[in-house]
């Protein structure tokens, strides 16, 4: 991974250097708010080997008896998994050992009805992911899917097709799993949801999907080696955090994560949760949005180029692609594209990125470029770790707790009041 700051004016950066290093120290020594949720920092080298082995064995069983694994979860129990699954799969015909289907990440009756119909002639298993077991969206989904699974296979076989990732000791889902005999895996107490893909939350469904979780963990380990050093000039996570805060205090209220490869679409969705839930507190925080180019250059590109100058871009660039295709000469040239003959589509895409960067920088939109070697489990894991260190440092620089999400609870209280849930009448 390389980070390029060429297209950002760094004249004021020295003013943020010490603040960034102090915030980094706060993160690493666990002296700040939210320190109870820093287990992800050392997780790449300090994880439970016994559970890791059980995850692999469970994944092998799922692969042996299921065409589909339904991953039931929301937020951090969904987005990290989906990001890696989508990035590493074939666009049109899945190359994975088990197809991952997602449920419990919304409350659409239409979606659930169609999912239940889809599963009727499939062999499938369930992985329900919830620390408490009472989070509304996954709890509703699990009710329907558990009933359908038991109807299809009978209660005895169904219990061997249900995998519960939940609290180690307590909670509604843990109690149910113990009562019914489901195999269980742990949602760690010291890792918040948006950081949890490094735990069983992400590792079990990804392993079942056929992704090499040893390589995935190796990417996190590589990230830990690079981004936990108190070295401003050589630790891009600290420098990126400082530059984000510099731009924020200079009136840039929005950060746009840009990709030119659709496989990275859900990486951006995970990134938005990571930064929005971590920084959006106490009236503070950059607003994280994303665009998928060159598609969005024909829509949101207009706003970025000529709209209000309150944003900057962070561009994800892939250096090496697995596949490419060359544009051939056409004898009639009715589309006028013969000037591209002999060039590949990825070359054209790269020039679109370069041209857009030039145009946006000319339009007073600072651009940070993050270059990843390829789209692989290891590379993406390192990218995740880079962003996680960044958001911790950046949040502490803003003076907020980057590891809680109090605002998320308010919508739940109002929803429960409207639904008539006992105890919420006066919210």
- Strand 311-318 vs strand 68-72: parallel, antiparallel, or unpaired? unpaired
- What pLDDT score does 248 carry? 98
Give every CB contact of residue 382 below 8 A, 6+ residues apart in sequence: 1, 219, 220, 222, 223, 226, 372
Residue 419 in domain: no
Residue 418 in domain: no
**84 plus 192 within the same structural domain:** yes
Cα torsion 267, 270, 273, 276 to 10°: value is -30
Q: What is the span of the domain harbouring residue 238?
A: 2-33+217-407
Q: Which of 188, 187, 164 is nearest to 176 (CA)?
A: 164
**293 plus 154 within the same structural domain:** no
Residue that is last in its domain, among 182, 211, 240: 211
What are the φ and ψ backbone dihedral angles of 33, each rounded to 5 degrees? Answer: -60, 140
Residue that is last in its domain, among 175, 193, 211: 211
For residue 410, name the pLDDT band (cuts at 50, 70, 90).
confident
- Rg of the chain taking only CA atoms, in angstroms: 23
Q: Compute the average pLDDT of residues 219-242.
A: 98
Q: Compute the average pLDDT of residues 249-259.
A: 98
DSSP classification of residue 326: B
- What pLDDT score does 409 carry? 79
Q: What kind and span of H or E run contains 369?
A: strand 367-372
Q: Which of 400, 356, 388 is nearest to 248 (CA)?
A: 400
**274 plus 334 within the same structural domain:** yes
d(CA 135, CA 350): 43
Q: Yes or no: say if 60 and 210 are a contact pair by the CB < 8 Å rule.
A: no
Q: Yes or no: say if 284 and 398 are a contact pair by the CB < 8 Å rule.
A: yes
For residue 210, name the pLDDT band (cuts at 50, 70, 90).
very high
Residue 412 in domain: no
**236 plus 338 within the same structural domain:** yes
Q: pLDDT > 90: what percent of the chain?
A: 94
Q: Does the pLDDT value for residue 244 go beyond 80?
A: yes
Residue 416 in domain: no
**235 plus 196 within the same structural domain:** no
- What pLDDT score does 66 carry? 98
Residue that is last in its domain, among 151, 182, 211: 211
- What pLDDT score does 427 carry? 77
**66 plus 123 within the same structural domain:** yes
Residue 414 in domain: no
Q: Active-site residues: which are they?
A: 277, 412
Residue 172 in domain: yes
d(CA 313, CA 257): 6
**171 plus 266 within the same structural domain:** no
What are the φ and ψ backbone dihedral angles of 103, each rounded to 5 degrees? Answer: -145, 160
- What pLDDT score does 81 carry? 98
Residue 175 in domain: yes
The number of beta carbons lying within 10 Å of the beta carbon of residue 65 is 15
Q: What is the mean pLDDT of the chain?
A: 97
d(CA 377, CA 213): 8
Q: State the CATH number of the domain containing residue 363.
A: 3.40.50.10490
Determine which of 49-53, 143-147, 167-171, 419-423 has the lowest per-residue pLDDT on average: 419-423
150-195 per-position pLDDT tens digit = 999 999 999 999 999 999 999 999 999 999 999 999 999 999 999 9
- What pLDDT score does 79 carry? 98
Give every CB contact of residue 31 below 8 A, 6+ residues apart in sequence: 25
Q: Compute the average pLDDT of residues 20-25.
A: 98
Strand order in the sheet with 2-7: 2-7, 367-372, 311-318, 254-259, 287-292
Considering the entire predicted model, what is its pTM? Answer: 0.96
Residue 370 in domain: yes
334-362 per-position pLDDT tens digit = 999 999 999 999 999 999 999 999 999 99
**159 plus 253 within the same structural domain:** no
**194 plus 256 within the same structural domain:** no
Determine which of 66-75, 275-284, 373-382, 403-412 has the lowest per-residue pLDDT on average: 403-412
Residue-wise DSSP of 250-298: TT--EEEEEESSGGGHHHHHHHHHHHHHHH--TT--PEEEEEETTGGGG
Q: Compute the average pLDDT of residues 263-290.
A: 97
The count of structural domains within the chain is: 2
- What pLDDT score does 411 carry? 85
Q: Which of 67, 70, 60 is nearest to 148 (CA)?
A: 70
**228 plus 361 within the same structural domain:** yes
- What is the greatest pairwise CA distance in the chain? 74
**238 plus 376 within the same structural domain:** yes
For residue 148, name the pLDDT band (cuts at 50, 70, 90).
very high
**123 plus 194 within the same structural domain:** yes
Q: Which of 177, 237, 185 is nearest to 395 (CA)?
A: 237
3-state secondary structure of 107: coil
């Amino acid at each position: 991974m390389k980070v390029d700051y060429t297209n950002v004016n760094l004249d004021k950066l020295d003013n943020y250097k010490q603040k960034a290093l102090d915030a980094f120290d706060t993160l690493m020594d666990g002296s700040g708010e939210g320190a109870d949720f820093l287990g992800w920092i050392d997780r790449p080298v300090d994880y439970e080997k016994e559970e890791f082995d059980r995850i692999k064995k469970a994944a092998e069983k799922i692969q042996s008896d299921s065409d589909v694994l339904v991953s039931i979860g929301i937020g951090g129990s969904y987005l990290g998994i989906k990001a890696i699954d989508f990035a590493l799969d074939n666009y049109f015909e899945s190359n994975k050992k088990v197809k991952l289907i997602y449920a419990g990440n919304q409350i659409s009756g239409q979606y659930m009805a169609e999912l239940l119909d889809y599963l009727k002639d499939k062999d499938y298993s369930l992985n329900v992911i919830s620390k408490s077991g009472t989070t509304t969206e996954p709890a509703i989904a699990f009710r329907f899917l558990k009933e359908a699974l038991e109807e299809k296979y009978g209660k005895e076989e169904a219990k061997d097709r249900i995998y519960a990732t939940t609290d180690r000791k307590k909670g509604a889902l843990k109690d149910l799993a113990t009562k019914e005999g489901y195999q269980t895996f742990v949602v760690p107490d010291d890792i918040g949801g948006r950081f949890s893909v490094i735990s069983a939350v992400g590792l079990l469904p990804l392993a079942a999907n056929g992704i090499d979780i040893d390589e995935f963990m190796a990417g996190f380990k590589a990230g830990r080696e690079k981004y936990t050093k108190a070295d401003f000039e050589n630790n891009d996570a600290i420098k990126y955090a400082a530059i984000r805060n510099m731009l924020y205090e200079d009136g840039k209220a929005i950060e746009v994560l840009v990709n030119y490869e659709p496989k990275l679409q859900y990486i951006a969705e995970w990134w938005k949760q990571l930064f929005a839930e971590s920084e959006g507190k106490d009236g503070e925080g950059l607003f994280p949005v994303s665009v998928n180019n060159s598609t969005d250059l024909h829509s949101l590109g207009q706003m970025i180029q000529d709209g209000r100058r309150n944003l900057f871009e962070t561009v994800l660039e892939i250096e090496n692609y697995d596949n490419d295709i060359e544009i051939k000469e056409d004898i009639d040239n009715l589309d006028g594209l013969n000037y591209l003959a002999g060039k590949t589509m990825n070359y054209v895409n790269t020039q679109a990125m370069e041209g857009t960067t030039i145009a946006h920088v000319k339009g007073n939109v600072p651009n940070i470029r993050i270059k990843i070697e390829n789209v692989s489990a290891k590379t993406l894991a390192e990218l995740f770790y880079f962003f996680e260190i960044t958001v911790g440092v950046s949040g502490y620089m803003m003076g907020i707790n980057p590891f809680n999400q109090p605002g998320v609870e308010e919508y739940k209280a109002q929803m429960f009041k409207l639904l008539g849930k006992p105890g919420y009448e006066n919210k």
